[in-house]
Amino acid sequence: MSLTADAIIIGGGVHGASLAFHLARRKLRVLLLEKKFLASGGTGKSTALVRQHYDNFVESALTHASWKYFVNWNEVVGGDAGFVQSGFIRTVIASELDALRANTAMHARIGITTKLITAREVKEIEPSWDVSDIEYAAYEPDSGYADPQATTLTLADAAKKLGAQIFQETRVEKIRADDARVVGVTTDKLGEIFAPIVIVAAGPWTPHLLKPLGIDVPIACERHQVASFILPKEVKTRVCCIDGAREMYFRPEGHNLILVGCGVGAKKINPDQYNEAIDDAHIEFSAERIAKRIPKMIDGLSQGGWAGFYDMTPDEKCLLGELPIQGLYINAGHSGTGFKIAPAVGLCLSELICDGAAKTVDISPLRWSRFQEGKMYFDAHPYSTSWHTGHTEKVKA
């Protein structure tokens, strides 16, 4: 006999797990299907910064709503997401100081604890940093980072306690629709499963699942690397940082490591077949980068690293909401920054599915159809530099 459910979620990354939790909380019979194992996609490779500083309202509001989960994880979800409230600093290049001011003011209006601090104050927080290239930075004392596996697994456990069924090593081969209405999926192990609601949270595999239904979503897969270094004994560094001024991000790990992400990623990679190890040349590149901000890192020791993938969209923001087939929803295209918003996105999509509209945060600017409408989503004060832009290399070339 075929299985049935109220809602089927395709993909067991942090977004699928969050959706399973939130829909089960709304008393839907949820079934999550994961082709490999939980957190085996982009989620498992994430450095999992939980910063609230974005250059647009919707993502800042989503991160703030999610941050409230991370600081109260045991009460809200149960268990431990490994959240470390390390503090967070955002630097920018000199020409983006006005944008930094405007965005920080927007964050304060949302309720995020944030302020602009001078380079001298940055140095007081992080004495080992060279701050000669910055004038001001944004500082969020309450932000930090989490453990992506623990976050996903505790969400999945909480969903199961609420009655959700999770099937790993079960691949969805086809989404089934009848008269522009979704009716279920076909899987490799469980055959056909029927449900009036199907949510695709399949990261970079999403276009492949939607194309047979005539739905084209602009999600491309990029390889991005993370380098890990052992700190030399005189270096203590505590906060997470998106260092726009030096085009990298970094954060502490464990007791004595620092993780560094930087560099333009290789485009159009196959998420089922790519080099998951860090390139030797990239270790060198990352070491040079981090030594620009923390000069004593010149004596740091490489501890290797890894490569993961981002599911990129043209405006580097995710696609959320209902597709042109009734009952079929998308939650994908998180473009390398989607870990931290998973709790609030799960909540907002559960509101959309169960109540007809998301009320915690208006997610309509992230609707899938914005590209067809010729409307990318940018706020008034976008930054031109981040950790994966190549401004510095272009200037050097």
Ligand X SMILES: Cc1cc2nc3c(=O)[nH]c(=O)nc-3n(C[C@H](O)[C@H](O)[C@H](O)COP(=O)(O)OP(=O)(O)OC[C@H]3O[C@@H](n4cnc5c(N)ncnc54)[C@H](O)[C@@H]3O)c2cc1C
Nearer to ligand X, 245 or 345 (CB): 345
Nearer Cβ to ligand X, position 100 or 241?
241
Minimum Å distance from CB 323 to ligand X?
16
Interacting residues toward ligand X by CB under 6 A: 10-16, 33-36, 40-43, 45-49, 171-172, 201-203, 205, 209, 224, 226, 308-310, 332, 334, 336-340
Give residue number: closest CB to ligand X. 13
27 vs 211 by CB, closer to ligand X: 211
114 vs 225, which CB is nearer to ligand X?
225
- Quote the least distance from Cβ 203 to ligand X, whole Å: 3
β-pairing verdict for 30-33 and 7-10: parallel
Nearer to ligand X, 280 or 299 (CB): 280
* CB closer to ligand X, 95 vs 273: 273
| Residue whose CB is less far from ligand X, 85 or 123 | 85
User: To the nearest whole angstrom, how small is the minimum distance from the Cβ of residue 271 to ligand X?
Assistant: 8
Helices 342-355 & 57-70 angle (0-180, nearest 10): 100
Least distance in Å: CB of 84 to ligand X? 13
Exposure string of 238-276, with b = 16+ CB inside 10 Å and e = fewer, is ebbbbbbbbbbbbbbbeeeebbbbbbebbeebebeeeee
- We find the least distance from the C-beta atom of residue 340 to ligand X, in angstroms, to be 4
CB of 311 to ligand X, least distance (A): 7
Least Å distance between CB 53 and ligand X? 12
